[in-house]
């Protein structure tokens, strides 16, 4: 086998990394130089901070693509060749010659789509395997069968590189698939970003990887728009976000916000837990109306008469009719509760003023009121500034925060049916993920009275404009601010900028990234949202997400057959109908790259127990290893599971490494954790650990080399959608599956080999 091709590619890779190092050194030097500068004036500081931010982001990108920087090459029939990599790079010459083509560029597409039947102009496609900065292997595919040139690196199997990636040991972190994107996946990745795209696929079809690569592609193709508005990726739990966290940076994208729904209300850490029944109630679509009623219930009127003791004028009576008129007028504005409150207050003050004026100015002989307009206006001011009056208004129409409203509702949820009240009642305790959509809904219903803040901002802005005008006046006769236009005419600052625009440039800039600003702003409108395990989200969670994306530019990824949450969906139309009707597109992924055929056959039988006509995705490989089943007395479940996990874990450490997961009902995890002290467990287990303990819900979206499922009957009986949970648990393994079941377990027919 010729080594010339390897040597040639090694030389190219070495030159490529030398260029990467030079770019990295340049970015580091630029950051150091900018930080060391002691600028004078606000403009200089602004320019310095923006430059540091840009160069720091560029440095993060260059560091993130170090591993597997270049992974492919395409040779066209006309003699043109391109190397394909994670980012685009150019030579440092006058022509800025392309050195490495970004995998997202249109010219790179034949690398993913070309076949012998449709070569797309290619003569050869080459996959480069590297370890660090060293070329370890080449895999050439001949596209032009008329070309007799051979390198000695032609692949015996066109799927050799794909199968090698699928069989590689897992690390506890999701790997990108940029080198092995398949045609059906590429079609989804490069689909238009406008509107809602639903990507449905069974276990192992690469839905998550496709969604993340799609986010990277959209940021490449629509950089100006999406980088400014940011892209949000929503995952089911923190462990899952940690699992996928390295994928986008490895593709050159470091500015994407990853979050769970429970992290989308700034200032709230949702660390509490709900029962499944409570979460289902909180997530139900009717909860929006329930909260609206809770707000209206806080807009009260006195039973008969509210007597307000004024500091100077004694008792001011507010009768029920006057309060009802004020409430009706405030509600008629259609404004949120807090923004409508001033309208209520003005009507109450007017009613109290009229009553006081009538009392003080009454003519004892029945004539017209003795008080003039100025007198009545003065009384109105005295009432409007009264603490007692404001206290009465607060009692009838309080200013509320979302936290105060929702906490009060949960403490006494009278707006719910009686059988649901006990499920959600909570007097104290931490916020839960299911509370976050309620808080967001409350924020919409309440609104925020920011008039004082806006007034302060405008005052500061006017002060800045006055300052800027002074700067321009001073510079009017000097050349300090001179510029030249295209015709070389000398222009002063006054000729090209006015004080208002100059003030805007002088303002302190927010140098945070778009993703950082979005994370702190509840009202932020994202350019695109990707939702993984979308079938799990409640109706209330979807209300929150739709508010975050008014353009409805979204990619939803999931599989209704894997829905485990009681508040989750059964159909995509159920989710999308209220927001976009039927204006959404469905793409299905039908090839299972993760789960061997032997394991998939067992999992499919579980699904068929609730859906007789179910057909699983087609597995691309078979390991020849049937799932191992051990049936033991119920009291021996933990002991047998620990023995099997220890056996397989020891084999893994002595062979190819990889990761082992033990998936069991939540009630068994404490005993399993005590018996397997080396295994990571808890709310956010370390997935890079050689062994990890999980519930089926925690395992959703994850994959491991070896999996032991304990008490499948307990998994299935643990929730209303337990069959789906068991289906998830059985499809996490890439190589081997063990099942420890109790005698009499009815979770499904025992696999062959028991």
Is 205 labeled as ligand-binding?
Answer: yes
Strands 196-201 and 554-558: parallel
CA geometry: angle 305, 309, 310, nearest 5 deg:
125
Is 206 labeled as ligand-binding?
Answer: yes
Query: What 3-state DSSP class applies to 165?
Result: helix
Torsion of CA 714, 720, 724, 725, to 10 degrees: -50
Which helix (H) or strand (E) segment holds residue 586: the answer is strand 584-589
* Total number of residues shown for the chain: 754
Query: DSSP labels for 330-380?
Result: HHHT---HHHHHHHHHHHHHHHHHHHHHHHHS--TTS-S-S--HHHHHHHH
What is the DSSP-derived secondary structure letter of residue 571? Answer: -
| Cα dihedral across residues 134, 594, 736, 564: positive or negative | positive
Query: What 3-state DSSP class applies to 174?
Result: coil
Distance of CA 632 to the CA centre of its chain: 42
Q: How far is CA 618 from CA 205, 598, 706, in A?
A: 9, 11, 20
Is 45 labeled as ligand-binding?
Answer: no
Structure tokens at 15: 């030159």
Q: Which residue has the tokens 């200013």?
A: 399
**CA–CA gap between residue 285 and residue 296 (Å, rounded):** 19
Cα-flanking dihedrals φ and ψ of residue 736, to 5°? -145, 140
**CA–CA gap between residue 573 and residue 453 (Å, rounded):** 42
- Cα atoms found within 13 Å of the Cα of residue 509, Cβ hemisphere only: 19
Helices then strands, counting H and E runs in the chain, come out as 30, 23
Residues whose CB falls within 8 Å of the CB of residue 661, separated by 6 or more in sequence, listed in order: 691, 692, 693, 694, 699, 702, 704, 706, 707, 708, 732
* Strand ranges of the sheet holding 691-694, from the earlier edge strand across to the other edge: 628-632, 733-742, 704-710, 660-663, 691-694
Torsion of CA 635, 638, 640, 646, to 10 degrees: -170
- Cα atoms found within 13 Å of the Cα of residue 138, Cβ hemisphere only: 24
Say if CB 264 and CB 548 are below 8 A apart: yes
* Strand ranges of the sheet holding 98-102, from the earlier edge strand across to the other edge: 89-90, 98-102, 81-85, 70-76, 122-131, 134-142
Q: How many CB atoms lie within 10 A of CB 562?
A: 22
Is 151 labeled as ligand-binding?
Answer: no
What is the DSSP-derived secondary structure letter of residue 88? Answer: -
Structure tokens at 732: 């996490």
Can you point out the beta strands (E) in 499-635? Answer: 528-531, 554-558, 584-589, 591-592, 618-619, 628-632
- Quote the longest CA-to-CA distance of the chain: 121
Structure tokens at 124: 């050869």
Is 207 labeled as ligand-binding?
Answer: yes
Question: Of 728, 708, 575, which Cα lies nearest the Cα of 240?
Answer: 728
**CA–CA gap between residue 57 and residue 49 (Å, rounded):** 12
- Which residues belong to the annotated binding site? 201-208
Binding residues for ATP: 201-208
């Amino acid at each position: 086998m010729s080594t010339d091709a390897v040597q040639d590619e090694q030389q190219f890779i070495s030159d490529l990394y030398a260029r990467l190092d030079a770019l990295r050194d340049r970015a580091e030097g630029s950051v150091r130089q900018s930080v060391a500068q002691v600028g004078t004036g606000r403009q200089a500081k602004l320019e310095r901070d923006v430059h540091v931010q840009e160069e720091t982001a560029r440095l993060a990108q260059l560091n993130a693509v170090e591993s597997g920087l270049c992974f492919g090459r395409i040779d066209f029939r006309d003699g043109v060749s391109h190397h394909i990599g994670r980012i685009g790079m150019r030579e440092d010459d006058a022509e800025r010659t392309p050195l490495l083509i970004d995998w997202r560029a249109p010219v790179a597409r034949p690398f993913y789509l070309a076949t012998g039947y449709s070569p797309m102009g290619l003569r050869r496609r080459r996959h480069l395997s590297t370890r660090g900065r060293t070329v370890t292997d080449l895999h050439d595919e001949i596209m032009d069968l008329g070309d007799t040139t051979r390198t000695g690196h032609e692949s015996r199997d066109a799927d050799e590189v794909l199968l090698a990636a699928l069989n590689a040991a897992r690390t506890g972190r999701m790997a990108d698939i940029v080198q092995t994107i398949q045609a059906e996946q590429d079609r989804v990745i490069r689909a238009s970003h406008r509107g809602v795209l639903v990507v449905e696929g069974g276990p192992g079809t690469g839905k998550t990887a496709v969604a993340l690569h799609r986010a990277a592609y959209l940021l490449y193709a629509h950089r100006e728009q999406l980088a400014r508005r940011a892209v949000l990726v929503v995952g089911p739990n923190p462990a899952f976000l940690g699992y996928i966290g390295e994928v986008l940076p490895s593709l050159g994208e470091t500015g994407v916000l990853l979050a769970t729904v429970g992290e989308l209300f700034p200032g709230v850490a949702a660390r509490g837990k709900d029962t499944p029944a409570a979460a289902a109630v909180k997530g139900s679509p009717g909860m929006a109306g329930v909260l609206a009623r809770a707000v209206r219930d806080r807009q009260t009127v006195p039973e008969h008469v509210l007597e307000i003791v004024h500091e100077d004028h004694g008792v001011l009576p507010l009768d029920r009719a006057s309060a009802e008129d004020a409430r009706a007028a405030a509600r008629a504005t259609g404004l949120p509760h807090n923004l409508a409150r001033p309208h209520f207050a003005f009507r109450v003050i007017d009613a109290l003023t009229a009553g006081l004026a009538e009392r003080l100015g009454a003519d004892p002989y029945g004539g017209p009121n003795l008080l003039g307009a100025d007198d009545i206006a003065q009384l109105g001011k005295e009432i409007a500034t009264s603490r007692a009056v404001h206290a009465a208004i607060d009692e009838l129409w309080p200013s509320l925060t979302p936290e105060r409203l929702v906490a009060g509702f949960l403490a006494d949820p009278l707006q719910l049916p009686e059988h649901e009240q006990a499920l959600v009642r909570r007097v104290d305790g931490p916020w839960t993920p299911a509370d976050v959509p309620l808080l967001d809904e409350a924020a919409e219903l309440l609104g925020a009275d920011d008039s004082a803040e806006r007034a302060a901002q405008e005052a500061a802005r006017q002060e800045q404009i006055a300052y800027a005008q002074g700067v321009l006046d001073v510079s009017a006769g000097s050349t300090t601010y001179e510029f030249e236009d295209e015709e070389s005419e000398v222009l002063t600052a006054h000729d090209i900028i006015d004080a208002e625009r100059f003030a805007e440039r002088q303002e302190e800039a927010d140098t945070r990234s778009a993703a950082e600003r979005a994370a702190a702003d509840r009202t932020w409108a994202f350019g695109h949202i990707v939702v993984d395990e979308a079938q799990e989200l409640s109706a209330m969670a979807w209300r929150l997400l739709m508010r975050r994306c008014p353009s409805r530019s979204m990619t939803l990824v999931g599989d209704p057959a894997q829905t485990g949450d009681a508040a989750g969906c059964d159909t995509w139309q159920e989710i999308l109908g209220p927001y976009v009707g039927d204006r959404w597109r469905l793409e299905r992924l039908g090839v299972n790259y993760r789960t061997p055929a032997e394991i998939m056959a067992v999992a499919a039988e579980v699904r068929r127990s609730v859906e007789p006509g179910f057909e699983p995705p087609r597995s691309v490989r078979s390991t020849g290893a049937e799932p191992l089943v051990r049936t033991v007395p119920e009291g021996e479940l933990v002991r047998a599971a620990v023995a099997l996990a220890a056996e397989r874990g020891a084999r893994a450490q002595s062979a190819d490494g990889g990761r082992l997961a033990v998936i069991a009902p939540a009630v068994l995890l404490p005993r399993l954790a005590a018996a397997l002290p080396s295994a990571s467990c808890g709310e956010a287990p370390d997935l890079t650990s050689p062994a990890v303990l999980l519930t089926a819900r925690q395992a959703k979206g994850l994959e491991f080399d070896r999996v032991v499922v304990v008490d499948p009957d307990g998994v299935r009986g643990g929730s209303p959608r337990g069959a789906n949970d068991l289906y998830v648990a059985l499809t996490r393994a890439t190589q081997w599956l063990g099942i420890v079941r109790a005698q009499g377990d009815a979770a499904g027919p025992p696999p062959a080999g028991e």
